[in-house]
Structure 1
Amino acid sequence: MRICVAVLVRVAGYDEAMADFSQILATRPDFDDSDREWLHHLVADWQVIADLSFADLLLILQKGDGSYIFAEQCRPSTVVSMRVDDVVGQQVDAWMRNECEAAMQHDGVYRSQNLQHIDGMNICNTYAPIRHNGKTLGLVLRETNLENRESNGRYEWESLEVGRQLFAMITREQFPYRDAVMNQRHNARVSDGFMRLTVDGDVTYASPNAISCFRRLGMVDMMQGKNLGEVGAGLIHQNDPVPESLPLVLLGKAPVDSELNANHSVVSIRSMPLMDGHGRTGAIVLCRDITELRRREVELQTKDATISEIHHRVKNNLQAVSALLRLQARKTKSQEVKKELQEAMRRVQTIAMVHEGLSQTADENVDFDKVISNLLRMSVDLASMRDQHITIDFVGKFGKMPAQDATPLSLVLTELITNAVEHGYDGRKEGHITVSVGREGKCLNVVVEDDGNGMDQEESNGMAKASGSGLGTQIINTFVTNDFGGNVRWEHGRDGGTRVILDMTLRAA
């Protein structure tokens, strides 16, 4: 049983239970799904504005009683944040409520007439009303430390100017972008490098890191004044991959990200169109050198392919061993030896099927439910007589697990099923076996129950044994006890038959 405890914090201005963004949004019944989705997109992408503006951003929402609450916050990665503590869930200070009311009714960006003083810093507050489908959902508060404005160079000036444009786009329902196409795998950041483009795609400014990115791609000329689309086209060689989205990104015409692969280097590029009340005025392009990341990805793909091939070859070798045992079983005249060879063949085949499952995955984990389902049905078919009809059902799921656990667990379960079919249904035409699974983390409980003949239970050295116990039962007890630190209990079934309960702790789950 899981017990959820809500903690109410009332320290240093906290008068709300600590809640996350989604919980706070849920308190606004007047927001529909599209409103909530819009706000989620905003906070997913507003890090760019915080970094460009060298400022903290706070999302403010109004509550049902008319008060205001901080619903989310964003610290800049390009300057030291002024907010040491999280303020999500706190109510907005009383002196700011009048500003919030005025900003909610304002058409565009609303600038506070009062300076806020925090730890000796002079803070200028600027509000952007969040518009969506004709509604004002809330406010984005930009807190700017005026001390960061004393000695700005070209980099800071360009960054601040672009940050102001993106911030103003919030008020016109132009940010976040409605039709952004982002893979989000290697999203570039402002600190990685950025460029400003005109409406035609000409570079008006490129940060030092952005220039370094394109130098690695083979660029030798200056970037400023050049058309970025033409610069990119000049870097691409005949056999270099060219994504379809690359021209849109290089010209800054759409909110898209792409990659430029040239000169044995890879740069992730993201375009963010800049707009005013009349339409697109240019764009900012973020870029990041991901050459090393790509190299590591290729190495991981190669490693995964190698591991899959190893599992595939192990499976083939085990199948060859199984075939040799089958040939040997056919040649022997002793029925007892034939039966033992067939048992060995079945156990080898069990391990082979686990490796077959591992060879089909990109990691070291196997979908154990898929493997064991096929494996146990095969065990039933092999152990049953021609005129017998025995079915098997599964309740619950094992989940994924690595070969370290999957191989011994497969052997345990196949031995249990084989033992049930061979001994529990001796002289019977029909039967049904149920495998029930309960798993939480590393704890695994498995119950195998049949409706067969029942068992003759006896004690031997403190260990329970079932009728027909032999090597198979020894394998079950040994693996469960030694490999999983668990225990096995053999009981009479509820409707006759036998019930086996396994309590285990997985090692590598």
Structure 2
Amino acid sequence: MVAEGNFPDVNNPTGPRRGAPRANDGILRLDESGTVIFASPNGLSAFNRLGIIGELEGKSLAEASNAILAGKNVDESLPLVLSGRAPWRTDMESQNVTLTVRAIPLWSGGKRVGAIVMCRDATDLRMQERELITKDATIREIHHRVKNNLQTVASLLRIQSRRSESNEAKDSLQQAMRRVDAIALVHDTLSEGLSQDVNFDEVFDRILMLATEVASSLNTSVKTIIDGKFGKLRSEKATPLAVALTEIVTNAVQHGLAERSGVVAINADRKSKELFITVSDNGKGLAQGEVGTGLGTQIIRTLIEGELRGSIHWSSPSEGGARVAITIPL
């Protein structure tokens, strides 16, 4: 094949996930019928661990393997690989041993004259992959259960708010409910994927829905404008940021735009090491001495400056309204 310029075959899979050769790989040489005519010590040892007893030379590799794999689920390409007919890689498993096999068909004069089959023990690798899958599934289930529990808490707060006769108590319970909902949003997002990174743009879209509900309850018409992207954030940053932004946007709707229509604009500017966020509205603005007096503001400061190690600044632009500027290290 080398002399004819047919090696390596361009159809052969390459790369670490396709069976790139290694020095300790076992090697088997098959003839055109799939019979083993040579087996290296590593190759023989690998198939012996699968349960094939004795020598392989003179035996059909596919038939010898079928005897130990009968009744088991196998990859549909396995018979082609074991007979040397397909230039591919697949796994075979028996007796708690996983063997990765790769076939390289040999050609001469346009005719297949046999194949080289390389094999290696992949038991530890496959076990680690299964453990990772189990771990990921467990983490997703934990996030799912946390989200359900938080939604239960939010529902209890909602019920209590409806039964309360005090407007002040109702307002406090509803604020607590929104904070819990914001945390639940992050856990809901984490329960849907394998990564511990959160697509915060999706989370923030749902945060704005919470603010819209507040506006509806106040008979206020609010338009929201989003400019820029938050991108993906680690869960330990996404949760406090979600709660803080829920508080900021809700305050803009509930206080800045109370009894009037208006716009809440959010800008997210992500740099390599920092995330800059501004939330502004065209409402009544901030009264002198108003910033820093409420529980919500204290919560925001604690989350942004404490947990996220960032900075936050409130201001009233000359054109009116209020503006909150946040900087968070990534």
- 1:439 corresponds to which residue? 270
Contact 1:195-1:286 within 8 A present in 2 as well: yes
Q: In the alignment, what sits opposite 1:67?
A: none
Tell me the secondary structure at the aligned position of residue 30 of structure 2.
strand
Q: 1:230, 1:241 → 2: CA distance?
A: 16
**Structure 1 pair 394–387 and aligned structure 2 pair: CA distance change class (3 A):** same
Gaps of 5+ in 2: none
Greater relative contact order: 1 or 2 (C-alpha under 8 angstroms, separation 6 or more)? 2
1:499–1:203: structure 2 CA closer, same or farther, 3 Å change rule?
A: same
Is the alpha carbon distance of 1:384 and 1:422 closer, same or farther for their aligned partners in structure 2, counting shifts above 3 Å?
A: farther
Counterpart residue number, 1:455 = 286
Residue 147 of structure 1: aligned partner: none
Change (3 A) 1:393 1:281: farther
Q: Does 1:320 align with 2:188?
A: no
Q: CA shift at 1:403, angstroms?
A: 2.1
| Alpha-carbon shift at residue 448 of structure 1 (Å) | 1.3
The reply to whether residue 225 of structure 1 matches residue 225 of structure 2 is no
The residue type paired with residue 46 of structure 2 is: C
Matched, 1:362 2:194: yes
Select which of 271, 295, 298 maps to 1:474: 298
Alignment partner, residue 172 of structure 2: 340
Q: Distance in 1 between matches of 2:109 and 2:182?
A: 68
Write the letter of the residue equivalent to 1:256.
W
Please say if residues 455 and 492 of structure 1, whose CA atoms lie closer than 8 Å, have aligned partners that are also in contact. yes
Map 1:197-208 to 2 at 5 A. Answer: 197-208=30-41
Structure 1 unaligned runs (5+)? 1-164, 460-464
1:244 and 2:76 correspond: yes
Q: Kindly indicate whether the alpha-carbon contact (under 8 Å) linking 2:178 and 2:210 is maintained by their aligned counterparts in 1.
A: no
In 1, distance between residues paired with 2:272 and 2:177?
33
Partner of 1:485: 309
Q: Deviations over 1:141-166 (max 9, x none)?
A: xxxxxxxxxxxxxxxxxxxxxxxx4x
Per-residue CA deviation, residues 217-276 of structure 1 (Å, 9 max, x unaligned), is 1010211121111122112031x2211110110111121111112222111111111223
CA-CA distance at 1:495 after TM superposition:
4.9
Root-mean-square deviation (CA), in Å?
2.2
In 1: Cα distance, 2:161 partner to 2:96 partner: 58
Q: Amino acid of the residue matched to residue 327 of structure 2? A: D
Give the direction of change, closer, same or farther, for the CA distance of 1:479–1:386 in structure 2 (3 Å limit): closer
Residue 288 in 1 paired to residue 120 in 2? yes
Partner of 1:30: none
Q: For the residues of structure 2 that align with 1:441 and 1:188, how far apart are their CA atoms? A: 36
Alpha-carbon distance between aligned partners in 2 of 1:194 and 1:449, rounded to the nearest angstrom: 68
Preserved contact between residue 220 and residue 259 of structure 2 (Cα < 8 Å) = no
Query: Do 1:376 and 1:413's aligned partners in 2 also have CA atoms closer than 8 Å?
Result: no
Q: Secondary structure at 2:186's aligned position in 1? A: helix
1:279 corresponds in structure 2 to 111
The answer on whether the counterparts of 1:189 and 1:288 sit within 8 Å (CA) in structure 2 is: no
- C-alpha distance in 2 between matches for 1:440 and 1:214: 53
Q: Secondary structure at the match of 2:82?
A: helix
Counterpart residue identity of residue 437, structure 1: A
Q: Partner of 2:325 in structure 1? A: 501
Partner of 1:254: 86
Deviation at 1:418, TM superposition (A): 0.4
Q: Deviations over 1:341-382 (max 9, x none)?
A: 111111111111111111111132222221221122222322
8 Å contact kept, 1:434–1:450:
yes
- Distance change >3 Å, CA 215–CA 188, structure 1 → 2: farther
Larger radius of gyration: 1
In 1: Cα distance, 2:184 partner to 2:242 partner: 10
> Once the two structures are superposed, what CA deviation does each residue of 1:186-232 show, in whole Å capped at 9, x if it has no partner?
62524221211112211121121111211111010211121111122
Aligned to 2:101: 269
Q: 2:237 aligns with which of 399, 405, 428?
A: 405
SS at match of 2:174: helix
Q: Tell me, what secondary structure is at the counterpart of 2:102? A: strand
Shift of 1:390: 1.4
* Residue-pair matches, total: 329
d(CA) in 2 for partners of 1:214, 1:486? 58
State the one-letter code of the partner of 2:28: M
Shift of 1:493: 4.3
Q: Please state how far the C-alpha of 1:420 moved relative to its aligned partner.
A: 0.7
State the one-letter code of the partner of 1:450: D
TM-score, normalisation: structure 2:
0.92
- Whether the aligned pair in 1 keeps the contact of 2:92 and 2:98 (CA below 8 Å) is yes
Alpha-carbon offset, residue 434 of structure 1: 2.1
Percentage of identical aligned residues:
43
Matched residue SS, 2:101: strand
- TM-score, with length taken from structure 1: 0.61
